[in-house]
């Protein structure tokens, strides 16, 4: 199974990718997570990317394309992947098409999760990440608890620097101007499946599974 999860910041790509990754036993490749880890580890990439992430800008296409090429070399990606956060520009989409062609991969499913912009701004300002395991929670779920429900780390919740309202609005603008055209590119190839991201996490997962079943015709192996 090879999936690209596409959609505006905050629409739930990361949450759904983690669920699907566990379900299908395929790696979740989040370019945002890779970059944040590099910043945390202060690698040369992290040092270069830090300010860009904090401002809600995009890291350069060349850097991101090389990063994805390297990731695809990894044996873990051989039997499938869920790509979350890439491609984010037309140049990245063209590069990805070329990489997939070279690897003779032609069964990618592109799922676009959609939701109302104001709802997303509210969601993002209300979300907290766990510094230890990277899972994301709604502030209301964890406000009375200082322990991460997933990894049990204590006092590990934080608001991502790029989840302040000003930066969120900028990330939305970057999505509309630079990332949205990627969708038109894949629309032309008839590859896009739309998923309504406004309902509960469980409902969105169900709809994704149904959409995958409808596209692949394989029902029994992937029931929820």
What is the binding site for ligand AMP (CB under 6 A)? 9, 31-32, 35, 52-53, 56-59, 64, 85-86, 88, 92, 162, 171
In the complex with ligand AMP, the residue whose CB is nearer, 15 or 31, is 31
The single residue of 13, 18, 36, 128 carrying the catalytic annotation is 13
Residue 146 CB, shortest distance to ligand AMP, in Å, is 24
13 part of the active site? yes
2 part of the active site? no
Let me know if 26 is exposed, middle or buried by CB neighbors in 10 A (0-12, 13-18, 19+): buried
Residue nearest to ligand AMP (CB): 32
69 part of the active site? no
Is the alpha carbon torsion for 63, 170, 164, 116 positive or negative?
negative
Alpha helices in the chain (DSSP H): 13-24, 31-41, 44-55, 61-73, 90-102, 117-125, 139-142, 165-174, 180-188, 201-216
In the complex with ligand AMP, the residue whose CB is nearer, 18 or 88, is 88
171 part of the active site? yes
In the complex with ligand AMP, the residue whose CB is nearer, 94 or 222, is 94
Residue 67 CB, shortest distance to ligand AMP, in Å, is 8
- DSSP letters spanning 147-197: B-TTT--BS-EE--GGGSHHHHHHHHHHIIIIIHHHHHHHHHTT-EEEEE-
The single residue of 18, 36, 88, 128 carrying the catalytic annotation is 88
Measured CA to CA, the distance from residue 203 to residue 197 in angstroms comes to 9
Measured CA to CA, the distance from residue 122 to residue 140 in angstroms comes to 12
88 part of the active site? yes
CB 5 within 8 A of CB 84: yes
The single residue of 55, 69, 122, 160 carrying the catalytic annotation is 160
Residue 15 CB, shortest distance to ligand AMP, in Å, is 12
Residue 65 CB, shortest distance to ligand AMP, in Å, is 9
In the complex with ligand AMP, the residue whose CB is nearer, 33 or 213, is 33
The single residue of 127, 131, 166, 176 carrying the catalytic annotation is 127
Q: How long, in residues, is the chain?
A: 224
Residue 218 CB, shortest distance to ligand AMP, in Å, is 28
CB 148 within 8 A of CB 132: yes
The catalytic site residues sit at 13, 88, 127, 160, 171
């Amino acid at each position: 199974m090879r999936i690209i999860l596409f959609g505006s910041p905050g629409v739930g790509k990361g949450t759904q990718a983690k669920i699907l990754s566990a379900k299908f036993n395929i790696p979740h490749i989040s370019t945002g997570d890779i970059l944040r880890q590099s910043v945390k580890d202060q690698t040369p990439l992290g040092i270069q990317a830090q300010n860009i992430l904090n401002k809600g800008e995009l890291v350069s296409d060349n850097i991101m394309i090389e990063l994805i090429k390297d990731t695809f070399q990894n044996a873990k990606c051989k039997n499938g992947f869920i790509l979350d956060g890439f491609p984010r520009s037309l140049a990245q989409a063209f590069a990805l098409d070329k990489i997939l062609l070279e690897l003779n991969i032609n069964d990618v499913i592109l799922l676009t999760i959609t939701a109302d912009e104001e709802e997303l701004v509210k969601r993002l300002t209300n979300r907290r990440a766990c510094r230890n395991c990277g899972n994301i929670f709604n502030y209301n779920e964890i406000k009375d608890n200082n322990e991460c429900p997933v990894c049990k780390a204590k006092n590990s919740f934080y608001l991502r620097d790029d989840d302040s309202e000003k930066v969120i609005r900028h990330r939305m603008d970057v999505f509309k101007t630079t990332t949205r055209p990627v969708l038109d590119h894949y629309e032309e190839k008839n590859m896009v499946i739309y998923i309504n991201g406004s309902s509960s996490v469980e409902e969105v997962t169900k709809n994704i599974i149904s959409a995958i079943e409808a596209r692949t015709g394989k029902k029994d192996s992937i029931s929820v």
